[in-house]
Amino acid sequence: MTTLFEGFETHDVDVDGVAVHAVTGGEGPPVLLLHGYPQTHAMWHRVAPALARRHTVVAADLRGYGDSGRPADEPGHAAYAKRAMAADLVGLMRRLGFDRFAVAGHDRGARVTHRMCLDHPERVTRAAVLDILPTRHMFATTDRALAQGYYHWFFLAQPDGLPERLIGGDPEYYLRTKLGRWSAEGASFDPRAVEEYVRCFRDPASVHATCEDYRAAGTVDLEHDEADAAAGRRVDCPLLVLWGTRGFVASRYDVAAVWRDYAADVRGAGLDCGHFLAEEAPEETARALADFLAE
């Protein structure tokens, strides 16, 4: 990993009994970077060094992913709720000396970012979400196209170890297929990063934990989201929304318009790529984030 994050330091921090793995680099105002499925913090390797020119960058593995801890299951999938993940990362930043910070998340990490903004508004100065819409909105607008395009949401949430057993038959094939199908034609991934994803995804405990993440999304996460909607809670800090113009989300939704129902101060832009913005369009992603953080 040192070859992907040259000059960054590695940390394994205990946050209330959960080990959180992260790398840090740079100097300046802090920014936390969160990855998506089926990746690790390694997905930021082309963006983090650029941001580190003016910021202290923290790139972390979500619980259940990468080299972070994999807590035991809890009733209702609460161990992998976005609320629990957000609390881990607020704790990580506090232990690293940052009480307030910016945060940018992609995919699952963006869902954790959204929850963090709602649960810990006093901690988050500004936030960015990459290539997602709010979980609540996605479930509420599910149709045939979404069910086919986002079939993994429903597959990974199946009970009784079914997806774990099927993915476990060839986890590397499953992971590489996901990267290929969700990226735009011609996209190129750094083989070192992909090998890192494969290394972690070969662990059956990681496959199970990531399935629990998706099980939580359709249960306890939705309960939290509905409670916030009923109470009128929205994201109050400035929110940057980025999406891949050749990805599924942009093909089905007016991304920025949807987010304006969930946040008070939204600005957004589409980048010429598929789902994996930080790897398919790293310079454009880094520039958009840097400009936003400098406001």
Sequence-separated contacts (24+) of 23-26 with Cβ below 8 Å: 23/48, 23/58, 23/59, 24/56, 24/57, 24/58, 24/59, 24/96, 25/49, 25/52, 25/56, 25/57, 26/51, 26/52, 26/53, 26/54, 26/55, 26/56, 26/57
Q: Is 155 helix (H, G, I), strand (E, B) or coil?
A: helix
Q: Judging by beta carbons within 10 Å of its beta carbon (0-12, 13-18, 19+), is residue 11 exposed, middle or buried?
A: middle
Q: Give CA–CA dist 284/289, Å, rounded.
A: 9
Rounded mean pLDDT, 24-44:
98
Q: What is the pLDDT of residue 251?
A: 95
Using the structure block, give the residue that is written with the tokens 């819409």.
133
Q: Label residue 3 by pLDDT band (50, 70, 90).
A: confident
Q: What is the pLDDT of residue 121?
A: 98
Q: What is the pLDDT of residues 163-183, one digit of tens each?
A: 999 999 999 999 999 999 999
Q: What is the pLDDT of residues 188-233, one digit of tens each?
A: 999 999 999 999 999 999 999 999 999 999 999 999 999 999 999 9
- Using a pLDDT cut of 90, give the percent of the chain over it: 99
Rounded mean pLDDT, 11-25:
98
Domain ranges of the chain: 9-293
Active site residue 265: no
- pLDDT surpassing 90 at residue 2: no
CB atoms within 10 A of CB 219: 14
Q: State pTM to two decimals.
A: 0.97
Active site residue 275: yes
Q: Which of 21, 35, 77, 275 is catalytic?
A: 275
Q: What is the pLDDT of residues 37-69, one digit of tens each?
A: 999 999 999 999 999 999 999 999 999 999 999
Q: What is the pLDDT of residue 155?
A: 98
List beta partners, residue 240.
128, 267
Q: Which of 67, 88, 107, 225 is catalytic?
A: 107
Q: Which fold has domain 9-293?
A: Rossmann fold (3.40.50)
